[in-house]
A and B are shown apart, each in its own frame.
Chain A
Amino acid sequence: MGTKTEFVDKIVSREKDLLDDWMKEQLAAVTLRTDLLSEADLRRQSTELLSAFIESIRPGIPQDIKAPECQHLVGILRDITRMRLEQGFSVSEVATFVLSLKQPIFRVLYDKDTTASAEQLWHMGTYIDRLGLHCTELYQKGREGIIARQQQELLELSTPVVELWEGVVALPLIGTLDSARTQVVMESLLQKLVDTNATMAIIDITGVPTVDTSVAKHLIKTVTAARLMGADCLISGVRPAIALTIVHLGVDLSEITTKATLADALDVCLRRNGFAITRVDQK
């Protein structure tokens, strides 16, 4: 639902002037980033956006940017925002690009024979504000998408399970354990147990900065799951500070064999599997 007025016609009829005015405005602005975007590209984007904008207000100024006549415009906004996000524009620069359209439009509405009422100007202003806000939202969503992707990558990067010896696998943990990560760690460890037919597993927590009650809970969970698959699970790499914290917190790890170093844990595993390491005598 929009208000069809003659000032809309005026904007429509003066698209060319508007574009020139807008371009001049943008090129003079302090937020101009010629290092990221060439003038030709800026002109192309501006032309595209302006024509879509004019198309959207042709039936009257839309009350809501979800209206069908805005879809084309919103699509273009999305593309431009995504492109600028990748190019390294800041969120305010992206929003300013849209909001800077306000001034040229107001100038068109206010030349010689003013016909626009305050109310109409207000409508136009809110509409452009909405578009600007939409841009910031898109930008933020894009950023969140990047963060989520990186988190996923980090998760996959940080959980390698290595085969230390025949029947012994080790999982060197780096970083804190939260429930999402525990899930991934557990899955990869258990899968490795199946693949290698291992009977012993070592979780090395040298790279875990702190062990609080929730991390301990997750460790116990992982050990229990490994036990259910028929593998004995040891924890190694308990640093002095961590040992103190565990005791102070009153976490009960008595059911789990813990060792100070990976070497000690491996030694236990080898013994249990009937191996022994001896030094070859070289007299």
Chain B
Amino acid sequence: MERIPILKMGNFLLVTIQMEMHDRLAMTLQDDLTERIVQTRARGVLIDISSLELVDSFIGRMLRDIAAVAMLLGAQTVVVGMKPAVAITLVELGLTLRGVRAALTVERGMEMLRASMPESLLASMKKTPRKA
């Protein structure tokens, strides 16, 4: 069965959705991600949807649910790279993804996650030089 890979980067988990999303895949991702957050004690989840052309209400809800679940497990979620057409579709569907943070690029999403981490956690992470 196909799965969406979940990469671990320090205290964060990176999910890049590269294939056409369908409902089964979305459910599996949700389950896998929840498992991994607990396993790795991740503090942040970054979901890159820059190659998603189509988002329906189910996928939209999944994004919102993932954010809510991650929050319960003590991790923040940032969705990055949403296409304009996708954003318009979600708004028209009435899915405003309240509670989900968004960024335009992976780079900025990472910055956002880092900025919201407490200093002690950052120090324990493998340091990448931060922009002044």
Contact = CB atoms under 8 A, between A and B. Distances in A.
B87 interface: yes
Of A183, A190, A197, chain B has the most CB atoms within 10 Å of the CB of A190
Contacts of A230: 80, 82, 101-104, 108-109
B104 A194 contact: yes
A225 B91 contact: yes
Interface in B21-76: none
Interface residues of A, number: 19
A194 B108 contact: no
Interface in B92-111: 92, 96-97, 101-105, 108-109
B84 interface: yes
B90 A229 contact: no
Interface in A212-243: 221, 224-231
B7 interface: no
Contacts of B86: 228
A194 B105 CA distance: 9
Contact of A190 (B84, B101, B103, B109): B84
A103 interface: no
- Interface residues on chain B, size class: 20 to 34
Contacts of B92: 221
A199 B109 CA distance: 11
A183 B104 contact: no
The dominant DSSP class at the B interface is mixed
Nearest to B90: A228
Contacts of A224: 91, 96
B88 interface: yes
B84 A229 contact: yes
B87 A229 contact: yes
A124 B79 CA distance: 72
Contacts of B104: 193-194, 197-199, 229-231
Contact of B87 (A183, A199, A228): A228
A191 B104 CA distance: 11
8 nearest A-B residue pairs (beta carbon)? A190-B84, A230-B103, A230-B102, A228-B87, A225-B87, A230-B104, A225-B91, A224-B96
17 contacts: A183-B88, A186-B84, A190-B87, A190-B88, A199-B108, A224-B91, A225-B84, A225-B87, A225-B90, A225-B91, A226-B87, A228-B96, A228-B102, A229-B82, A229-B102, A230-B82, A230-B103
Interface of A: 183, 186-187, 190-191, 193-194, 197-199, 221, 224-231
Given A190-B84, A230-B103, 18 more contacts: A186-B91, A187-B84, A187-B88, A194-B83, A197-B104, A199-B104, A199-B108, A221-B92, A225-B87, A225-B88, A225-B90, A225-B91, A226-B87, A228-B86, A228-B97, A229-B82, A230-B80, A231-B104
